[in-house]
Chain A
Amino acid sequence: MEYLSTIGILIAIYVILAASYNLVIGYGGLATVAHPIFFAIGAYVSGLLAIHTSLPPPVTVLVGAACAMLASLLLAASALRVSGDYLLIASLGFQLGLLQLIKNLEFTGGPGGLGGIPATIVGPARTPAYLVIAALLAIATVFAIRALVRGPYGRAITAMRDEELAFTALGRNAMSMKLVIFAIGCGIAGVAGGLYAFYFQYVSPDQFEVLQSAAILTMVVLGGMGTAFGPVVGAVLLLAIPQAITFLQLPPSIMAPMQGIIFTVLVLVFLFLRPAGIMGHAGRRRRTAGLT
C-alpha cells in the first residue's frame, strides 16, 4: 500500500542519514550539526541535473553525492585547522548560510522549492521498485559502515578519536583521517538526498533546517551512538512512532508538540541514564565509540 511504502522509503532514507551521521559523529568523534545540508546538496544537485539534462538517475545521484563530499571537504578543511569545537559552529553556519543561498537563487526554485523533478519509473511498479532500491541502499550503507569500523581502519579511527595525541605521536595523520571520514559520511548523505529527490519529485529548503539536524541527532543518540544498528533503531522509532500516534486521533494542537516533547525527553533521559543508547552496551567505561 502506498502509504506504508512511502513510510518505508522514508525510513530507509533516514537510516542512511542516521548511519552516515553516526559514522561522522559517533565513530569519527567530529561534532557537527550540518548533516542535513549534505542531504540537501545531494537532493538539489541530482534534482537539477534530472530536470535540465538527460543523464540517467544513478549518475545524477552519484554526482550529487560527489558534490556533497566536495562541500564537506571544504568545510572540514577550513574548520578543523582551528579546532574540533569550531567545526560545530562552522557546520551550523555552513548549513544555514547555504540554505539562505538556495532560498535566494532562482534556478533552485528559491524558497518555494524545486518541483517538477521528472518521474523516472512510471506505472504501478513504481513504489515497490523504489522501496526495494531504498531498502538495498540502506542495508548496504549500514553493513558497509559496520565493515569499515570493524576492520583495521576502524581501530585506527577509534585510536584517533580516543587518544589523538598518542595517535599523532605514532606518526598517523589525524587530520586526513578526519577529512576522509567526514567526506564519506557526507557523501552517503548526498546519496540519500538523490534518492529522496527522485521518489518525491519535490525538494523544499525548509526540510533541511536545524530541526532536521536535531531529528537525525535524536535518531543516533537514542539508537546508540557508535553502534552499527543503533541508527536503524533510531530511524525506525523516530519515523514510525509519530505516524502511529496520528492514528490515535488526539487533538492536533497537542499532538505535534507532544511528539516533540516525547522525543526530547527521551533523548535527555538517555543522555543521563543510558548514554549508550538503545543498542549500546550499558555502563560508562567503554573502549568503543559513543557518548560519555
Chain B
Amino acid sequence: MPLTGAQAGYGNDFVTGMRMAVKDVNDAGGIAGRPVELVTLDTQAEPQLGINAVNRLIGVEKMPMVLVAWSSVVKAVAPICNREKVLEINTGANSPEIATLGDYVYTAFPLAEVDITKLAQYVYQTLGKRRAAVLYINNDTGIDAAKLYRDTFTKAGGQVVAFEAYDPKATEFTGMLLKTRAANPDVVHLHGLTADTPQVIAQMRQLGLTQQITTYSAGYNPKLIEQCGPAAEGLIVTSLAPGVQENANVAPFLERWKKEVGRVPNGLPYVQYQYDMIPLAKALYDHVDKKGQPATGDTLRDALVEIRTFDLPMTGKMVIDGHRVNKPVYLLTVKKGAFVPLATLS
C-alpha cells in the first residue's frame, strides 16, 4: 500500500480500514481461533518498491497471499506472485489488464469495464445523451477507461465528438476545453485523478461549458465540492460500493471512522473494499482450515475459486468470475453542495 508519496492519503486510509476489520475479526475469535495479524509495507505506489515489499512479504514473512492496490504495483509484482505461487489479490486498482496478469492474480475490486461501461450505457439510455466528449488524463487509468467509454458509447449508438488526453502535470486546459466546446457535445466524461479533476471542472465552467459532467469514483470526494463550489453542481460520479442507504453496515462504519480518525475517509467506497478484504481472507483461511490443508498460495487460490460467492459486510455480495468480479454500480450526483444517490446499475 502507498503509505507515503503522492497517494498516501488513500493508502493510509486503506490500511486503517483493514485494521478496523482485523480488530473486528479478532474480537469475534480470529481465524480458526487464531488472531489475525496485518503486515503492511509501504510501496509509495511505485513498482520497484512494490516489488521489494512483496519479495519481503513472501521471503521473510512467508505470506501465501498478498493484498495489493495501484495498477502499476499490481502489474509489477504479478511475475513474482506467479513464480512463487502466491495469491495476489487486487483490492483497489481498476486497470482491465489485471484480469490477464496470470494464474495467481485475482481481483476483488471491479475493474474499469464494470463501472465505465455501465456509466456510458446509462448516459446514453437513461440520460438520452447522444454526443459525448471524453477528456482523460494521459496515464494508465485514463487511457484504458477513456477507450472503454468511447467504445461502449458508440456501440450503444452515440457519437464521441471529442476525445482528448491531457498531460498529468498540466494545470491549464483552455485549449483542450475550447476544442471540446467547439465540438458541441451534450455530455462530458472526465477521467482524471483527484488532483486535476477539480481544476478541469472549474475551468470548464469558467469557459462557459455548461454540459453535464460525469466522472468516476475519483470524483466522489468531498474535497472536490469544496474546491469547485457551485461548479460541481450536477456532477455525476460512480461508486462501486453501496452507500449509507443501500447497506446498513455503512453508517455505523462511517461513524466509527469519524470517531477514531477524526474526519471522513479519503474515498469511502474504496475503504469499504479494503475493510472487506479481511473477512474475505478469513473465509479463504477458514475454508482451507476445514479441509485440513496448509495455507499456501495454491490452496487459498483454490478456495477463492471454489467458494466463488462471498457475502461481505461493507460491499455486499461478491461473485468471483474467473479473474474478474462483477458488482452493481452506484451513481451519485452533487445537489446543493453534497453528494446524493442517483441510481443503482446492476
Tell whether B268 is near chain A: CB-to-CB under 8 Å. no
Q: Give the complex CA separation of A202 and B138 in angstroms.
A: 20
CB of A253 within 8 A of CB of B95, answer: no
Q: Which residue of A lies closest to B44 (CB)?
A: A256
CB of A206 within 8 A of CB of B46, answer: yes
B137 to chain A, nearest CB (A): 9
Stretch at the interface among A2-10, A62-70, A175-183, A272-280: A2-10
Chain A positions within 8 Å of B138 at CB level:
103-104, 111
Instruction: Using C-beta atoms within 8 Å of the partner chain, give the interface range for chain B.
Output: 35 or more
Q: A112-B72, A113-B76, A253-B3 are in contact. Are A204 and B55 (CB under 8 A)?
A: no
CB of A202 within 8 A of CB of B143, answer: no
B246 to chain A, nearest CB (A): 33
Tell whether B140 is near chain A: CB-to-CB under 8 Å. yes
Tell whether B305 is near chain A: CB-to-CB under 8 Å. no
CB of A200 within 8 A of CB of B79, answer: yes
Tell whether B206 is near chain A: CB-to-CB under 8 Å. no
A172 to chain B, nearest CB (A): 42
CB of A252 within 8 A of CB of B51, answer: no
Q: Give the complex CA separation of A7 and B41 in angstroms.
A: 16
Q: Give the complex CA separation of A119 and B47 in angstroms.
A: 18
Partner of A113, one of B47, B55, B60: B47
CB of A246 within 8 A of CB of B41, answer: yes
CB of A2 within 8 A of CB of B72, answer: no
**How many A residues face the partner with a CB closer than 8 A?**
29
Q: Give the complex CA separation of A3 and B84 in angstroms.
A: 12
B165 to chain A, nearest CB (A): 9
Q: Mark A106-121, 1 if CB is under 8 A from B, else 0.
A: 0000111101000100
Tell whether B121 is near chain A: CB-to-CB under 8 Å. no
CB of B75 within 8 A of CB of A3, answer: no
Q: Which of B81-140 contact A (CB under 8 A)?
A: 83-84, 95, 97, 101, 138-140
Tell whether A255 is near chain B: CB-to-CB under 8 Å. yes
Chain B positions within 8 Å of A7 at CB level:
52
A-B contact pairs, 26 of them (CB 8 A): A2-B58, A3-B55, A3-B59, A3-B60, A6-B55, A7-B52, A103-B138, A103-B139, A111-B139, A111-B168, A112-B75, A112-B97, A112-B139, A113-B76, A115-B97, A119-B79, A200-B79, A202-B75, A206-B46, A206-B47, A207-B47, A246-B41, A252-B3, A252-B40, A252-B42, A255-B4
B interface, CB within 8 angstroms of A: 3-5, 8, 12, 40-42, 44, 46-48, 51-52, 55-56, 58-60, 71-72, 75-76, 78-79, 83-84, 95, 97, 101, 138-140, 143, 168
Beyond A6-B52, A103-B138, A201-B79, 18 extra complex contacts between A and B, CB < 8 Å: A1-B59, A1-B60, A2-B59, A3-B59, A6-B55, A103-B139, A112-B75, A113-B75, A115-B76, A126-B83, A200-B79, A202-B47, A202-B79, A204-B47, A206-B46, A206-B47, A243-B52, A255-B4
